[in-house]
Amino acid sequence: MVSVSLLLSFTGPAGAQVPAPASPASPLDNYAEAASTTIIAEQACPGVQVRAGQLTTLRLAARVNAGQEVVLEEKLRSRAVQVRQQLAAVGREAWCAGALAAFGPQGTVVKGILATGAPIR
């Protein structure tokens, strides 16, 4: 799996971008980044919904086991803080466009976790 941090960049009026990590991201890091970004997108972006089944598939691909739950929780909390800071810095419109570009139907990071306008099951 390609690191979400390396692919995901949100550019807007401020020209903000997600910094590339110093070392390759782990599957847990990738999942935490995707989950945090998409869940916050559902909350912040009008008409955007998370396709829970797609997010679950991503979690299964990350092979999260019971012993990793505490580490994953911390990664999710930490990444959510970073995502909210990006959202505030770039602005909702630009940030939402970036999130949809990365995780929407034509996603450059993971396709189909976010959907717009269609009923989600």
Q: Which of 2-16, 37-51, 71-85 is predicted least confidently?
A: 2-16
C-beta of residue 30 within 8 angstroms of C-beta of residue 104:
no
Mean pLDDT of the chain: 78
Q: Which amino acid is at 25?
A: A
Share of the chain above pLDDT 90, in %: 36
Q: What is the pLDDT of residues 33-76, one digit of tens each?
A: 899 999 999 999 999 999 888 888 888 888 888 888 888 888 88
CA distances from 83 to 65, 78, 118 (A): 25, 9, 25
Match 């991201």 to its residue by tokens. 25
Backbone angles phi, psi at 32, to 5 degrees: -60, -40
Q: What is the C-alpha separation between 102 and 47, in angstroms, rounded?
A: 16
Q: Residue 101: what pLDDT?
A: 93
pTM above 0.85, yes or no: no
